[in-house]
A and B are shown apart, each in its own frame.
Chain A
Amino acid sequence: MMEEVKGASSFLSVQVHNIKVTEVLQDGDSLTFIIVSQKMSGTGEFHVDRTYEDFEWLQQHLFSQEDVPGIQGVIFPPLPARLQVNASSKTLRHLGFLGLGEWQPYCKALETFLRQVAAHSILSKNRAVEIFLTSSDPPGRQKVKKNIFNRLSQAVEEMRKEGHKDVDDFFQTKRDHNFLLTGYTKMAAEKFLDVVLTEQKIAVACGHFSTALHLCMEQGENPEKQDFSQVCVKLSEVFNSIKKSMTSTAMNDMNTLGLGLDLETRYQEAEKEMLFRRTCKLVELQNATKNAEKAKPVKKAVMEEAKKATETEFRQICEVAKKEIIQLESKHVETLQQALVQWCEKQLLTAKESAEVYSQHLQTFKRMQ
């Protein structure tokens, strides 16, 4: 998944590590994203504009690579859900952190998606990736044929397979662990979102207080009233500062740990889906084996062939899956570490700046006495 040879993917003509989603343009209800990537050879950039449908087109192409051995063992970089313009707060809530703050977190998430895809040793080979990043025309909007990846919601009978006991300890452990981690990460992301939303509410309330105080300022020439008016004006400034500080705090939360937890959650879901695909293949293999054993001599050869084919597929999937899992795990540690360090550094900076500002306000008030 993340064999990240910086920028030197031999299948793409763009550098991978600095693909950027620079802008989002709104036209009525639809959004267009501007994607800029640097040419591999020489100087120059590719500027392309893509809609969410184009992203889905890319994803579908990646899913439908049935001829690539072990493709089902790939942990596909997760594409963020569609962003609705003028959405109600409920639908925005579904996006979590990606629904906040003027689309910047969302663009960042799209950016990450593209970088992960372009850096993936298997996925980046797909022509669709090159077309998506470099073609000035919009990539084909025709629907790609349905594939096994299309269904994300699983039928009831499929659900039973999820708990199917594994033959391999490594994978059984991974499945159990993934199950736990997915739940906890999702919850942590949700609870952190609650924190950020409340911080924003506090910022808004401080802004209201600041405005209301400013209105208290009296125009009268009474010297005794002027003193109090000054107090109101200065307090209004204080709360404006508090509002700014809170807003920064919420932004820092959003852009670092918030995005990190969100990415982690989606990656763990992606891993879960991959493990499930493998489990399904395992069940298929076990069924094929049984069928081959039970087959009447007439059908036996055919059944054996089928079983062998399935066996090969399963083996390939397991090979790819193992590599992907190990890479994901190290990437997971790296992602969280980066998120935590950035978060801490930004909050520390904001806290220090706020302390400085508050100190000045305090001095102002003390001088007023």
Chain B
Amino acid sequence: MATSSDRNPPPFPATDEPKPGLSDLLDGDSDEGDDIFVSNRTNPVSVSRGVSQPERVREEPGDLFSQEEAGPNTAKSNGVNSDDDNDLFAEAQSDLSSNTPSSAARPDISTSSGPRPASSFPQNPAAMQHTSLEQLEEEEAKDSFDVDVAVTNPEKVGDGMNAYVAYKVFTRSSLPIFKSKAFSVRRRFSDFLGLYEKLSAKQTLHGCIIPPPPEKSVVGMTKVKVGMDDPSSLEFVERRRAALERYLQRVVSHPSLLQDPDVREFLERDDLPRAVNTQTLSGAGFLKMINRASDAVNKMTIKMNESDTWFEDKLQEVEAEEQQLRKLHAVVDSLVNHRKELCGNTAIFAKSMAMLGNSEDNTALSRALSQLAEVEDKMEQLHQEQAASDFFILAELLADYIRLLGAVRGCLDQRMRAWQRWQEAQSTLQKKREAEAKLLWANKPDKLQQAKDEITEWETKVTQYERDFDRIGMSVRKEFLRFEKEKAKDFKSQIIKYLEAMMQSQQRFIKFWEAFLPEAKAIA
């Protein structure tokens, strides 16, 4: 299937302008832009995919990457390879320089706004000789984060109301936990939701911030089921594709989640059993679910006596931050709408100038006015790109973090539930002891043994649950630290993308004005 038409967010009409200078501004992303998108002016799309790449490269200047070797070879060997996979690496190959193959090879796939832990990649043999054992060990430890995922090629499968969109999930990793170095599978939206369901069920007592999936949308999907050709459907699919990619990247960059077999199965297994339990995420949406759970926790009869105010403070901070992000998101939303309005108005103005130019007698003036109309048409395209940039970078970033903060609250709730379980076990133990005392007094030796056994059982449970509670507390603290770090990094890299796109637009504005000025002067 043609990648280009799917990859481009719909607001962009096809353009014949070559993508100017993107490679000058973004070291990592130039290839990505050329690789995957035939129509090359897709800044926001490439942006939505590639974020922290340049940042990563700078963090490990000494590392070399063996991907260029791994790529095509392993791509061929695992049999999952299709032409698309080769395309992803093609540019990487040709752009390799001896010094920093990383910057060329790395960005091919994944790189959307998911948080990226600092990590390095396995060294190629030549570089090995130069590393100390120490460095090797350090890199061993970081190896576990060597996973890139990309979600591409949305394809409509089936017809009518039973139709759905299947996405290609492409993974590249040198980790031994995977069967091969690079592989891809096809997944549909409910599969992603199913993965989330499984993870949250398993992780409830681990104090983990589980990345939330994108929300279901009946309206959006219905339009797509009917036909995928109109701009709003295309925009919806692209938005979802980008969101799914960021979701997966967040999942695989979380050290404990990556170890989860469900995650591996999701990435690797060719035919995944259909997820049927996605009802909880239907209609009401993810945040509503979290809110309901929070309410349940708040209604707990036994109030927790916090010796450590850290957790209370954090909850308040998280709630306040969520409100702030919502406000920000609303403002960005209105900004996006105004920009789209500007596109429309600019196009109409361009037409009116064209008509004015046509009816003008004076030839030089007529030509200048017609050229002005053309300039305004080009401006309209720039405004559209800016609107998409506002949306796909800023608005989606804020939306992601609003949902992520919901997941953070969910994590705090996990700790509360662990506490609750411990408390309940303690009260059960107390009851068992009282029962034993009663039996002693009533002198029923046969039941006494059973009572004693139960007491032992519950004593064990109380000890275990207390330890669980402590452990989860530590885990939550660690997760918070990690979350804050990732959040700052994420925002920084997204903002850099945004600024770079804006710089690009600005340069093109300048070019348009410079081209028009002599025309205007030539009138008299």
Contacts and interface: CB of A to CB of B under 8 A. Distances in A.
Interface stretch (A11-19, A73-81, A294-302, A329-337): A329-337
B359 to A, nearest CB: 5
A225 B500 CA distance: 25
Interface in A218-248: 218, 220, 222, 224-225, 227-228, 231, 234-235, 238, 242
B332 A224 contact: no
B500 A209 contact: no
A201 B332 CA distance: 13
Contacts of B388: none
Nearest to B339: A202
B352 interface: yes
A198 B506 contact: no
A202 B343 CA distance: 12
Contact of A195 (B58, B349, B369, B493): B349
B127 interface: no
Contacts of B331: 205, 208-209, 212
A358 B503 CA distance: 7
Contact of B481 (A212, A224, A234): A224
Given A184-B359, A213-B328, A352-B510, A366 B496 contact: yes
A177 interface: yes
B284 interface: no
Contacts of A205: 331, 334-335, 338
Contact of B345 (A184, A195, A340, A362): A195
A188 B356 contact: yes
Interface stretch (A127-135, A304-312, A343-351): A343-351
Contact of B484 (A185, A188, A228): A228
Contact of A191 (B345, B492, B520): B345
A207 to B, nearest CB: 10
B492 A231 contact: yes
Contact of B491 (A188, A192, A231, A329): A231
Nearest to A334: B524
A24 to B, nearest CB: 29
Given A191-B348, A355-B507, A212 B335 contact: no
Contacts of A228: 484, 487-488, 491
Contacts of B360: 181
A352 B503 CA distance: 11
A148 interface: no
Interface in B467-524: 481, 484-485, 487-489, 491-493, 495-496, 499-500, 502-503, 506-507, 509-510, 513-514, 516-517, 520-521, 523-524
Contact of A340 (B349, B514, B520): B520
B463 to A, nearest CB: 33
Interface residues of A, number: 59
B198 interface: no
Interface in A164-208: 177, 180-181, 184-185, 187-188, 191-192, 194-195, 198-199, 201-202, 205-206, 208
B489 to A, nearest CB: 8
A348 B328 contact: no
Contact of B488 (A224, A336, A358): A224
A289 interface: no
Interface residues of B, number: 60
Nearest to A342: B520
Contacts, number: 155
A253 to B, nearest CB: 10
A337 B524 contact: yes
B55 A369 contact: yes
Contacts of B509: 347, 351
Contact of B352 (A177, A184, A336): A184
B109 to A, nearest CB: 22
Contact of B365 (A212, A216, A231, A337): A337
A365 interface: yes
B338 A194 contact: no
A368 interface: yes
Nearest to B500: A362
A227 B484 contact: yes
B45 interface: no
B362 A194 contact: no
B484 to A, nearest CB: 4
A187 B523 contact: no
A340 B368 contact: yes
B345 A212 contact: no
A341 B520 contact: yes
A354 interface: yes
Contacts of B317: 218, 220
B353 interface: yes
A263 to B, nearest CB: 14
B488 A227 contact: yes
A88 B31 CA distance: 54
Interface string B350-381: 01110110011110110011001000000000
Given A209-B328, A209-B331, A358 B506 contact: yes
21 contacts: A195-B346, A199-B342, A202-B339, A208-B334, A212-B327, A212-B331, A215-B324, A218-B317, A224-B484, A227-B484, A228-B487, A228-B488, A231-B492, A231-B495, A344-B513, A344-B516, A351-B509, A351-B510, A354-B506, A359-B503, A365-B499
Given A228-B491, A238-B495, 13 more contacts: A181-B356, A194-B348, A194-B349, A195-B345, A209-B331, A212-B331, A215-B324, A228-B487, A333-B523, A337-B521, A337-B523, A348-B517, A358-B502
Interface of B: 55, 58, 317, 321, 324, 327-328, 331-332, 334-335, 338-339, 341-342, 345-346, 348-349, 351-353, 355-356, 359-362, 364-365, 368-369, 372, 481, 484-485, 487-489, 491-493, 495-496, 499-500, 502-503, 506-507, 509-510, 513-514, 516-517, 520-521, 523-524
